[in-house]
Amino acid sequence: MDDQTDQTRKPRADALRNRERVLEAAKAVFNAGGPEASLEAVAKRAGVGIGTLYRHFPTREDLFEAVYRREVEQLSELAEQLKTTKDPVDALRRWLRSGVEFVATKKGMVAALALAVQSGSELHAFSFERLTTAIGSLLHRAVAAGEMRADISPEDLLRAFFGMCYMHDQPGWQSSVLRMLDVFVDGLRVQPTAGAKARVAKPAKPAAKRKR
């Protein structure tokens, strides 16, 4: 699978090797020491000079991106699979739960993304877009089926989910977030009784016919 139809020189072997080494080292170091860990430590662990690290990944965020892009994609693909689930509400619920588990496993990711959010980096743009799409497709199904209220955007939901997971370094966070997500999904359901009571929020989305 090498269509190097380009007339460009083949990339040097040592460059590729070093890039890979740095990535591996970064994954290890970030997982151990958080996303603020020293880049010089990463370089040392990778057995390359600091200059090499910076040539491959000019900014810290570039490194994050290379490390975590794949993980975000996994989470996004899971949504795709869940779209085949019968009950759309259940699908959304499952995705959110899987998200929690995901965060629990790859602890580095959330912190990195949180950093990325603040710096407005490329990783943020990519992840946000990708996950919004994922969550959006699940949400939309549920709304279309008349099972969920239509005035909540995927961005809203993602933000809430993400925020909750951000507290992931307190003891017992995981079960806490799971409980909260249940409350959340309950709140998202179309509620005949609650509808009678004064609902303050106004629908931001015009479409979506609620049957029932």
Residues that bind DNA (CB under 7 A): 8-15, 17-19, 38-41, 47-52, 54-56, 58-60
For residue 60, the minimal CB distance to DNA (Å) is: 5
For residue 50, the minimal CB distance to a second copy (Å) is: 22
For residue 36, the minimal CB distance to DNA (Å) is: 7
When the beta carbons of 45 and 130 are compared against a second copy, the nearer one is 130
CB-based contacts of 144-147 (< 8 A; 24+ apart in sequence): 144/88, 144/208, 145/88, 146/190, 146/209, 146/210, 146/211, 146/212, 147/88, 147/89, 147/189, 147/190
When the beta carbons of 56 and 140 are compared against DNA, the nearer one is 56
CB-based contacts of 186-191 (< 8 A; 24+ apart in sequence): 188/92, 188/142, 188/148, 188/149, 188/152, 188/157, 189/89, 189/147, 189/148, 189/149, 190/146, 190/147, 190/148, 190/149, 191/149
For residue 3, the minimal CB distance to DNA (Å) is: 12
The site partner of 104 among a second copy, DNA, none (C-beta below 5 to 8 Å per kind) is none
When the beta carbons of 20 and 155 are compared against DNA, the nearer one is 20
HSE on the CB side for 121, CA within 13 Å? 20
HSE on the CB side for 158, CA within 13 Å? 24
When the beta carbons of 55 and 97 are compared against DNA, the nearer one is 55
When the beta carbons of 7 and 118 are compared against a second copy, the nearer one is 118
Residues that bind a second copy (CB under 8 A): 87, 89-90, 93, 114, 117-118, 149, 151-153, 155-157, 159-160, 162-167, 169-170, 173, 175-180, 182-189, 191-194, 198-202, 204-205, 207-208
CA 175 from chain centre, in angstroms, equals 19
For residue 10, the minimal CB distance to DNA (Å) is: 4
